Amino acid sequence: MKAVVVEQYAPIDQIGLKEIATPEVGPGQIRVRVHAASIGFVDGLKVEGRYQTKDPLPFTPGAEFAGAVDAVAGDVTGFTPGMRVMGTARSGALADAVVVPADAVEIMPDGLSMEAGAAFRTNYLTALYALGERGRLCAGEQLLVLGAAGGTGIAAIQIGKLLGARVIAAASTEEKRSFAASFGADAVVDYTRPDWRDALKDATGGGGPDVIFDPVGGEVSVQAFRSIAWNGRHVVVGFAAGSIPALPFNLPLLKGGLLIGVDAAQIARREPDAQTRVMTQLSAWLNHGELVPVVGKVFAFEDFRSAFKTMQSRAALGKMVVRIG
Ligand SMILES: NC(=O)c1ccc[n+]([C@@H]2O[C@H](COP(=O)([O-])OP(=O)(O)OC[C@H]3O[C@@H](n4cnc5c(N)ncnc54)[C@H](OP(=O)(O)O)[C@@H]3O)[C@@H](O)[C@H]2O)c1
């Protein structure tokens, strides 16, 4: 089968497609013919060996996919070849086929495209866990989403609206702000402007946001916290801007505010009940058509490098997806 193979940690231009053996299923596993795989911020770091954990070489990147079941281990029930599934893997999804534990996939709702299935799990699990479980966002509250046109940002807009919040989207370009508005943001602000906190104040009617969804980091995070409403919750999701901000401790005191961390990768192990609640709610919204995962741009398999480069150059709108097979 064809797969993207990282033989040495390097920029994506130096990574190629290779012919490798199709993996066999072991106990508890299924093999999925991948139709679409999505690229996340972390995948770009992993390819270059810059992520906090390093995948042993050689490896195939790609942690999210959708496709059709192709082989099922003898001890696995509930799956038969041909079923449409979507799921996650530690790595390996940028390939014609991926082998994963059976509990790493779920059956796709009818009508959901393979591309949307591949764009679903990480961003929407992160957004609902961050806003619902950690940020305790309530109907009628105001939510500020930083990096609002990015993968997690656009998911946070949709989830914020489904939870009944008023959503303010912050993004760096007119195109990104329009994209955010098209997925439900009630107001937009350009957070690259020096006076953006004034615009935010106006957009929230003077009170500031009750909850901040923050996948960006850097100086903008501290500025956002300075604008938070009384009893506000600032949910730390990531550091796409590259620097980890330091918050002066007087600000939470003055605002009665909370700084709350989110790590979706640890939920299943540390908070299995929360993971079940979140996935049950997301599946219900998906099955009723209330939530459709946003697919940013779709690339051909041979053009997988462009998917990485679009994301790495801050040019991505939504999630980057590679179509395979
Ligand atoms: N904690 C968790 O469980 C969890 C889960 C998923 C992802 N994450 C993390 O969250 C972060 C964002 O992930 P994502 O998938 O939303 O990424 P993304 O799609 O690339 O979006 C990130 C956004 O950050 C903004 N940004 C500001 N400065 C940037 C810079 N120098 N380079 C790139 N983007 C910059 C961009 O918006 P503007 O151009 O509008 O500023 C961009 O749209 C990453 O650090 C990722 O590792 C964490």
What value does the mean pLDDT of the chain take?
Answer: 97
The maximal CA–CA distance of the chain, rounded, in angstroms, is: 62
Assess whether 135 and 219 both reside in one domain: yes
Residue 52: predicted pLDDT? 86
Residue carrying the six token digits 């919750």: 233
Q: Are residues 217 and 298 in the same domain?
A: no
pLDDT at 194: 97
Residue 299 has pLDDT above 90, yes or no: yes
**11, 83: one domain:** yes
Q: Kindly list the protein residues whose Cβ atom lies closer than 6 A to any atom of ligand 1.
A: 40-42, 122, 126, 147, 149-153, 171-172, 176, 215-216, 237-242, 262-264, 311, 314, 316
- For residue range 51-72, list pLDDT tens digits in order: 988 999 999 999 999 999 999 9
How high is the pLDDT of residue 277? 97
pLDDT value at position 71? 98
Alpha-carbon gap, residue 318 to 316, rounded angstroms: 6
Q: Are 167 and 243 in a shared domain?
A: yes
pLDDT band at 227 (very low <50, low <70, confident <90, very high): very high
**Burial class of residue 13 in the structure, from the number of CB atoms within 10 Å of its CB (0-12 exposed, 13-18 middle, 19+ buried):** exposed
For residue 325, what pLDDT is reported? 80
Ligand 1 centroid to Cα of residue 176, in Å, is 13
Kindly state the average pLDDT of the residues 99-106. Answer: 96
11 is in which domain, residue-wise?
2-120+293-323
**Across residues 225-240, what is the average pLDDT?**
97
